[in-house]
Amino acid sequence: MNAIACRVVAIESLTPVVNKVLLAPAEPVSFIAGQYLQLCLTPTDKRPFSIASTPADTLLELHIGTPAGDSWSSAAMNHIQHHHSTNTSIMVEVGLGQAQWRQHSERPIILLAGGTGFSYVHSIAMAIAAANYDKPVFLYWGVRHEEALYYATKLKQWADTHSTFHFIPVVQEPNASWTGKIGLVHQAVLDDFSSLDTYDIYMAGPFAMAGVAREAFAAQGGHREHMFADAFAYI
């Protein structure tokens, strides 16, 4: 796959450990909502990040989490910051993965995100809205703390303006004021759907979450051929 040069247009802090990065590709890029790109630190050191934007957007948007002690993502973020401050290009390979939105499926959709796995479901959610999709869509976003729900306002608007769209945030360790769902995000799905038989399920987040969710959803009627996650290739 050809690597494409991109200018780092902006870096914005979404939370103390998550940055939004906007990239301007030097040439048109082709991908499907839900695919990822690889950031080329060197010609052989390439790191995957979900594309949060949709193919209709001019800029590529990334959400990069750098939790304390995570050298894998910190090195990627340092690379981006260096090229932003020196106004030089980074190289990316765009349009990877097998977990992209199946636009022609007639099945209702569950989007499951753990932490920064939200980037992946954001792309699909925005593409679905632009396509005037009329089937039910349930977007579950699980985080450890409420403060990590950095796009909650946008997602509430997404749900408020489409009667068939539903946004369900799930917090693992809530503040006393939290009135929403509590616990692990895949458990919230299991609690809400007695059978997952009819659903297409798209998921991204920690690999452990993807593995646990796939088995639990299959036990509750979900079909493996209707569950999509690039994490499955890694576990």
Ligand X SMILES: Cc1cc2nc3c(=O)[nH]c(=O)nc-3n(C[C@H](O)[C@H](O)[C@H](O)COP(=O)(O)OP(=O)(O)OC[C@H]3O[C@@H](n4cnc5c(N)ncnc54)[C@H](O)[C@@H]3O)c2cc1C
Which residues are near ligand X by CB under 6 A? Answer: 36, 48-50, 62-65, 67, 73, 97, 114-117, 119, 142-144, 172, 184-186, 205-206, 208-209, 212, 230-231, 234
Residue nearest to ligand X (CB): 115
Least spacing, CB of residue 48 vs ligand X, in Å: 4
Amino acid (one-letter) located at 201: I
Compute CA 12 distance to the chain's CA centroid, rounded to the nearest angstrom: 17
Nearer to ligand X, 115 or 222 (CB): 115
Nearer to ligand X, 146 or 198 (CB): 146
Nearer to ligand X, 144 or 224 (CB): 144
Q: What is the spatial distance between Cα 67 and Cα 74, in angstroms, rounded to a whole number?
A: 8
Nearer to ligand X, 53 or 116 (CB): 116
- Select from 173, 170, 175 the least CA-distant residue to 205: 170
Least spacing, CB of residue 77 vs ligand X, in Å: 9
Q: Which residues contact 153 (CB under 8 A, 6 or more apart)?
A: none
Least spacing, CB of residue 106 vs ligand X, in Å: 27
Query: % helix / strand / coil in the chain, to the nearest 5?
Result: 30, 30, 40
Least spacing, CB of residue 205 vs ligand X, in Å: 4
- Select from 50, 81, 60 the least CA-distant residue to 5: 60
